[in-house]
Amino acid sequence: MSRSAAAVAAMLLLTACGGVGGPSRPAGESLTTMGFGLPDEIATVRVDAFKKAYPGVTVRINEGAFDEQAFLSAVASGNPPDVVYLARERLGSYAARGAIQPLDDCVSRESIPTGDFYPAARQQVRYDGHWYGIPEFSNSIVLIVNDRAARDAGIDPASVDTSDWDRLAELARKMTRTDGGKVERFGFNPKLPEFLPLWAKANGADLLSADGRTAGLDGPAVVEAMTYANRLVESQGGWKRLKAFVDTWDFFGARNPFAEDQVGMMLGEQFLVSSMAGTTPDVAITVLPFRGRDGQPVNLVGGNAWAVPKGARNPQAACRWMKTMTAAETWIAAARARQDKRTREGKVNIGTFTGNARADETIFGEIVRPSGKAPFDAAVRTIRAVQPAGFVVPQSPAAAEFRKAWEDAGTRVLLGGQKPADALGRAQAEAQKAIDGAAS
Amino acid sequence: MRPETRWAYVFVLPWLIGLVLFQLGPMLASLALSFTEYDLISSPEFAGTANYARMAQDPKVAVAIGNTVLYTALHVPLAITLALGLALMLNRIGGRGAGVFRTIFYLPSMTPYVAVGVLFLFLLNGQAGMVNQFLGLFGVEGPQWTTDPDWILPGIVLMSLWNLGSTTIILFAALRNVPAELAEAAMIDGAGAWARFRRITLPMISPALFFVVIINTIASLQMFDQVYAMFFGNQVTQQASGDSALFYVVYLFQQAFQFLHMGYASALAWVLFLVIALITLVQWKLGGRLVHYEAGERA
């Protein structure tokens, strides 16, 4: 059976699942993107920079979030976009199967200054020794403390220290507030199972070997971290109750959980802080590093990347697009536009945290100015301070299955279906089997 | 061939072309794919019956089948009983009100499945959802419908009862065709309401009931949109339910597009097709004994 026939058949197999990359077009100086939108000046300024640098290239931006079904269908049918914008953690799976192209030629031909990128971002876009993506934003994880809840618990919010797990558990219990059967304040949301790699790292363990080939999900330090974080949740009312409570939160609105006093402390990406700066600039929070048990900051870094799909018709323009969109100068121009806009609106700006360390030096050294809102000005310093401590889960040929294995394990533990050691033992077997299968 | 026959084929041709191109062709191709290892990107590699053998050893398949069968067993009788109740009420309403109520009862069918899924995620929230608030009025502390594995499936069944419009309208149409003189004759003979319903109405609408049982069973076994929107739409929602909301087609979709195991997904799809065909056949055979056709023919 020919590959294209198989692809068409496979797409039609699931008739409920439509969508490909758009109508056929003649090859030429045009560039089609997927997974990228133009929601704000950070996007539009950079797109304008590309259009100005390459006026002969017609840019078609298919707005909307990355949709793996649409992406894979487009690649399989031979009608992919020229460049795709997706979560960096997905790159390994796609690279291993040849759905995206290695970018080594692109990087050398266009002299993309990869040394500008943060080491963690750099590591996350490489697979098997090759470049497969160019990193965009960089999301750091910090501890956000609700000052009111901390004071209710009799502690100075700035003194919260996550390296002492016994005291942290005690503080979580003190911050939790319930009324009858209802949770009114979640003392400390450890963000399990999503942040299991962070908890494991805080306990000195990695979920995956550096080469992405050996899972370490059932190691004693990982089991201990999962056991501890699960006990945290149990001691505050249990996952079923707490998750239902969390589902009612408006994370990005004026009634966010800190403004509404619904959470005592939470681990979260810095964009939550950025959002609060816009919606609730007077909220009383303290942003702190998440420290491992050795007292050192630990920061699980994430973000999106640009990649070029297999069969892209204009890889040269795609390469130039990626270079322009992630260049320090472009980021700086976008950050300046953001600062100007926020100043005009009288809003707090905590800056744009990019995957480009050189850009961030200028953005936070010259562009972002103290807002006068002490919690947010301090938050910027904290986020900048934890960036060097950034780490990532290495790319693996079965990244999606690997993630699913440990997330499912976490969910089984949280729901009381399995003990941490058993759940992680099963996850280890599932993950390693998937990695071995994908690598063979 | 007579000219009328030729013209009949001409008129049927567009449908035939569609059937071959978009239904039979892909089905046969997917059957071939089910014997291969295929990741959508590389060429398929023949794998014999490995995908079918793998299904037997995959614990998630058993979980997905269990959830889907339990859902079907709960949804189909409940949905048809409620829809029949609604249809009987509609049948008693005369005048202008009849059209209004028919429209109101059918409106939920117009709501997109994904929107219904998201809506019910809010309604069923154990902390602040309206369902538990309603139960609270009677002093009942509602369960955690969306986060407790024991209550997730009942919550999905509850949600599924939102959309009874099509079934109700089909049964209502059948009720309208029950000859009034039969009920009148039975009344004269002293038959009560229950006896008239059991001895006259039910047999007379049994072909319609048979039809809705079959289509509801097939739809239940293929349940996807609402559950996916509620529990698998993003990473955060996926973390809430574990495998409690893992329906068969959801798992099939995950294997195809999340893990790129298209050959395995094709095998899953074919097994589902065969199971549905088998169940429909059994229903058809049973229906032959239970369904009453006015003309005297039987299914």
Residue A171 located in a structural domain: yes
A129 and A209 fall within a common domain:
no
Chain B contacts in chain A segment 152-171 (CB below 8 A): none
Task: Please list, in sequence order, all residues whose beta carbon lies within 8 angstroms of the beta carbon of residue B223, skipping any fewer than 6 positions away.
Answer: B68, B71, B156, B160, B247, B249
The rounded average pLDDT for each run of 10 residues, N- to C-terminus, in chain A (440 residues) is 45 35 51 93 96 95 90 92 96 93 97 97 96 97 98 96 96 94 93 95 97 96 97 94 93 96 97 95 97 97 97 96 98 96 92 96 95 95 95 94 94 93 97 91
Q: Where are the domains of chain B?
A: 58-290
**Which residues of chain A neighbour B22 with C-beta distances below 8 Å?**
12, 15
- Single out the residue of A287, A289, A286, A273 nearest to residue A348, CA to CA: A273
Structural domain for A316, as ranges: 16-139+303-333
The answer to whether B240 contacts A247, with C-beta atoms less than 8 Å apart, is: yes
Is residue A185 domain-shared with residue A293, that is, in the same domain? yes
Answer yes or no: is A393 within a domain: no
From chain A residues 341-400, the ones with a CB under 8 A of any chain B CB are 398, 400
Q: A99 in contact with B at a CB cutoff of 8 Å?
A: yes
The dihedrals phi and psi of A126, each to the nearest 5 degrees, come to: -110, 140
CB contact at 8 A, A188 and A171:
yes
Q: How far is A271 from chain B (nearest CA, A)?
A: 16
- What pLDDT is stored for residue A214 in this prediction? 97
A86 and A104 part of one domain: yes
- Count Cα atoms within 13 angstroms, Cβ side, for A161: 9
Average pLDDT (B118-134) is 93
A178 touches chain B (CB under 8 A): no
Residue A384 lies in a domain: no
Residue B148 is predicted with a pLDDT of: 92
Name residues 51-70 of chain A within 8 A of B (Cβ): 68-69
pLDDT of residue A28: 52
The answer to whether residue A389 sits within a structural domain is no
Task: Write down the pLDDT at residue B285.
Answer: 87
Count CB pairs under 8 A between chains A and B. 142
Per-residue pLDDT reduced to its tens digit, B203-262: 999 999 999 999 999 999 999 999 998 888 766 666 667 789 999 999 999 999 888 899
Q: Are residues A32 and A58 in the same domain?
A: yes
- The alpha carbon of A131 is separated from its chain's Cα centroid by a whole number of angstroms, namely 19
Please check whether residue A360 lies inside any domain of the structure: no
CA distance A371 to chain B (A): 33
Answer whether A183 touches B (CB < 8 Å): yes
Residue B240's pLDDT is what? 64
Residues A127 and A179 in one domain: no
Q: In this complex, do B127 and A7 lie within 8 Å of one another by their Cβ atoms?
A: no
Same domain, A432 and A286: yes
Share of chain B above pLDDT 70, in %: 95
Structural domain contains residue A191 = yes
Asked if residue A246 and residue A203 are part of one domain, the reply reads yes
Measured in angstroms, the CA of A412 and the nearest CA of chain B are apart by 6
| A146/A41 same-domain check | no
Burial of A225 from C-beta contacts in 10 A (0-12 / 13-18 / 19+): buried
For the beta carbon of residue A18, count every other beta carbon within 10 angstroms: 11
The values of phi and psi at residue A267, to 5°, are -85, 135
Instruction: Select from A76, A248, A417 the Cβ nearest to the Cβ of B125.
Output: A248
pLDDT the model gives residue A407: 93
ipTM for the whole complex: 0.80
> B236 near B124, Cβ under 8 Å?
no
Q: Assess whether A81 and A205 both reside in one domain.
A: no
Residue A55, both tokens:
């006026």
How do beta strands A263-269 and A141-146 pair? Answer: antiparallel
Q: What is the pLDDT of residue B234?
A: 66
Task: Single out the residue in A290, A312, A333 at which a domain terminates.
Answer: A333
Q: Which of A4, A13, A404, A435 to mutate to test the interface with B (most CBs of B within 10 A)?
A: A13
Residue A96 maps to a domain: yes
| CATH number of the domain to which A258 belongs | 3.40.190.10
The beta-carbon neighbor of A411 closest among B125, B242, B265 is: B242
Residue where one domain finishes, among candidates A317, A333, A349: A333
Question: Are residues A107 and A194 located together in one domain of the fold?
Answer: no
Same domain, yes or no: A52 and A148: no
**Which CATH fold would you assign to the domain B58-290?**
MetI-like fold (1.10.3720)
Residue whose pair of structure tokens reads 């290495």 in the numeric block: A394
Q: Do the Cβ atoms of B127 and A241 come within 8 Å? A: yes
Q: How many helices (H) and strands (E) does chain B have?
A: 16, 2
pLDDT band at B287 (very low <50, low <70, confident <90, very high): confident
Domain termination site, one of A287, A314, A333 = A333
- Report if residue A77 sits inside a domain: yes
If asked whether residues A176 and A282 sit together in one domain, one would say yes
Nearest residue of chain A to residue B242 (CA atoms):
A411
Question: How many domains does one find in chain A?
Answer: 2
